Amino acid sequence: MTSLVIHGHFYQPPRENPWTGVIDRERGAQPFHDWNERIHAECYLPNSAARILVDAQERLLNNYAYINFDFGPTLLSWLQQSHPETYARILAADADSVRRNEGHGNAIAQAYNHAILPLCNKRDQLTQVRWGAADFRSRFGREPESMWLPETACNDDVMGVLIDAGFAYVILAPQQALRVRASDEQEWQSVSAETIDTSVAYRYRHRDGSGRSIAVFLYDPQIAHAVAFEQALASSSCLVDLFTRRAVGSGSLVNVATDGETYGHHHKFGELCLAYAIAQDAPARGFSLENYGRQLERFPPQLEIEISNGLNGEGSSWSCVHGLGRWQRDCGCHTGGGAGWNQAWRRPLRNALDYLRDHAVAMFEETRGALFTDPWSARDDAIGLVLDPSLSRERFLAEHAPRPLSRDEEQRALLHLELQRNALLMYTSCGWFFSDISGIEPLQILKYACRAIELMAQLGETSVRTQFLEILAGAESNRRELGNGADIYRRFVEPANPSYQSGGEELAASLA
């Protein structure tokens, strides 16, 4: 039988108000309170209990038990609190898949808050990966075999981080493959999305010369495009016909990766099409539903691969044909917007956040030997405090401080860690993805920036707000009546803080 691996990347950006910890009402999500609630009703819940008829018998199918998947850690945290039954079904599906796939589970980890890793500094890359893996272990009770890279964005540096972390494989887009060769040959062959064989795994070697490696799976581009954009989910039999037509490579694998929200949110009843394909049509056509871990054990890589490092080595991705332009400049990639709109606001937005991050880095380094023995090790371990608020802060600090701390010093140490958490969250990729800086996604990452500025002030640092706003003012909104990023920040971001005393009425003003 031909192995079939269907991967769903399930993700929503963190939406909680950084001061209250709850999600404010979000425009566009009606009749639901916010987008998390809406997409849960349309996708996450239905995929955990898809109601289908098999041989005239009604059956509830947990799709997560049969597809490879990743869930954003911040999304799982929200599901655990807001919809524990759905959350429990996701965990149970992975446990079931481990039993059916000889120890290989369907779930894989995800970089913590969906930052574009090649655009992060090295410390942030490490923390994003370590926090994502720690979150996975705490929820699924096992080591992750892989980590989903947000937007599949990577370069050689990020691949090295994954190898150093011990992951077995990674999923990339076919256009990210640059060259391949047989492991025992020296001559490389150039490939493209149209010519690369996606039916086999490849071996990527660490650039440090150690010989260490990670397996690379490349999803089928034609299936992915058809599922996401060409109504392939209108019929399960048609979907499986597509799988059959694409079973033409040299290996025994047909695989596809798309946003998990495709199944029910982007395409209504997509979860039912997926369920029927899993339960009936795919097995009837000779496909065996597996996950990447099991496939890798059965068919280890025989070919070596080099990946595309993109423009100036910055990296490549699955959702920007310009490499990583979508998250830092006006490359032409966007979603929605009016005629004549541009995304030149992306660069000053990133520059403003980089300014805050670098300022926070300098502050954090100053704690070395005073509050923390190694501040960056403390930050990596602080995910435990995020995952379990009941853990003793005093014990955590005692393990990471160079000496016993006073109460005031303990409070300052915790403020520094909270500052670092917000500095990470403000790089969530959705802040750059869409059409304008006035959207809810850029506003959300600016809220984390606002919270970071507030924490810096609480730590006694000279205010960086003025310089931050000067940089942000270079981000002109396409909605001329809203002005620039600094105007938007003052009008809509700062009033989100419940302690903000003036102009709070602006928070309720609609941008629609």
pLDDT for 260 equals 98
Tell me how many domains the chain contains.
Answer: 2
SS3 68: strand
Q: Does residue 321 form part of some domain?
A: no
Mean pLDDT of 17-23: 96
Within-domain flag for 122: yes
User: Model's pTM, two decimal places?
Assistant: 0.95
The verdict on 8 and 78 lying in the same domain is yes
Domain boundary (307, 325, 343) is at: 307
Q: Is residue 340 domain-shared with residue 473, that is, in the same domain?
A: yes
Regarding whether 339 and 301 lie in a shared domain, the answer is no
- In 3D, which of 477, 487, 449 has the Cα closest to residue 465? 449
273, 349: one domain: no
- Tell me the C-alpha distance between 155 and 349, whole Å: 23
pLDDT for the residue numbered 56: 82
Predicted confidence (pLDDT) per residue in 46-64, tens digit: 999 999 998 888 999 999 9
Q: Which residues pair with 396 in a beta bridge?
A: none
Distance, in Å, from the CA atom of 414 to the CA atom of 397, rounded to the nearest integer, reads 8
d(CA 197, CA 246): 11
Return the pLDDT at 487: 98
* CATH number for position 89: 3.20.110.20
**What number of helices (H) and strands (E) belong to the chain?**
20, 14
Per the CB < 8 A criterion, the answer to whether 36 and 75 are in contact is yes
CB 165 within 8 A of CB 298: no
Distance between CA atoms of residues 375 and 381, nearest Å:
10
Same domain, 296 and 346: no
**Domain C-terminal end among 307, 326, 351:** 307
Does one domain contain both 393 and 487? yes
Please say if the pLDDT value at position 507 is more than 50. Answer: no
Residue 314 domain-assigned? no
Let me know if residue 468 belongs to a domain: yes
- What does the mean pLDDT of the chain come to? 95
How much of the chain, in percent, has pLDDT values that exceed 90?
Answer: 92
Alpha-carbon gap, residue 490 to 384, rounded angstroms? 34
Both 346 and 494 in a single domain? yes
SS3 per-residue string spanning 122-186: HHHHHHHHHHHHHHHHHHHCCCCCEEECHHHCECHHHHHHHHHHCCCEEEECHHHEEEEEECCCC
pLDDT tens string 435-485 = 999 999 999 999 999 999 999 999 999 889 999 999 999 999 999 999 999
Q: Which of 108, 99, 119, 34 is nearest to 76 (CA)?
A: 108
Does position 336 have pLDDT exceeding 90, yes or no?
A: no
Higher pLDDT, 271 or 499: 271
Claim to verify: residue 241 and residue 300 sit in the same structural domain:
yes
SS3 357: helix
Q: Which residues of 268-292 are buried (b: 16+ CB within 10 A; e: fewer)?
A: eebbbbbbbbbbbbbeebebebbbb
Judged against a pLDDT cut of 60, whether residue 512 lies above it is answered with no
pLDDT value at position 272?
Answer: 97
Q: What is the pLDDT of residues 96-107, one digit of tens each?
A: 999 999 999 999
Kindly state whether residues 303 and 342 are assigned to the same domain.
no
In a domain, 94, yes or no: yes
d(CA 356, CA 445) in angstroms, rounded, equals: 12
Looking at residue 501, what is its pLDDT? 59
Written as six digits, the tokens of 407 are 């109460």
Answer yes or no: is 457 within a domain. Answer: yes
Q: Which residue is listed with tokens 């917000």?
A: 422
Strands 202-205 and 213-218: antiparallel
Please give the helix or strand (H or E) that residue 10 lies within, else none: strand 2-10
Per-residue pLDDT, averaged over 21-40, amounts to 96
Does 297 share its domain with 392?
Answer: no
pLDDT at 249: 83
Answer yes or no: is pLDDT of 77 > 50.
yes
Looking at the structure, tell me whether residues 340 and 449 fall in a common domain: yes
Residue 142 lies in a domain: yes
The answer to whether residue 421 scores a pLDDT higher than 60 is: yes
CB 340, CB 350: distance < 8 Å: no
Do 7 and 109 lie in a common domain? yes
The two tokens of residue 315 are 């990296």
Calpha distance 217→169 (Å, rounded) = 7
Q: Tell me which of 27 and 42 has the higher pLDDT.
A: 42
CA 500, 504, 507, 511: dihedral to nearest 10 degrees? Answer: -130
β 57-61/50-54 pair status:
antiparallel
User: How confident is the model over 355-393, as pLDDT tens digits?
Assistant: 999 999 999 999 999 999 999 999 999 999 999 999 999
Given a cut of 60, whether residue 115 has pLDDT beyond it is yes
Backbone angles phi, psi at 482, to 5 degrees: -95, -10
Let me know if residue 478 belongs to a domain. yes
The greatest distance separating any two alpha carbons of the chain, rounded to the nearest whole angstrom, comes to: 70
Range of the domain at 431: 334-508
Using CA atoms, how far apart are residues 489 and 355, in angstroms rounded to an integer?
A: 16
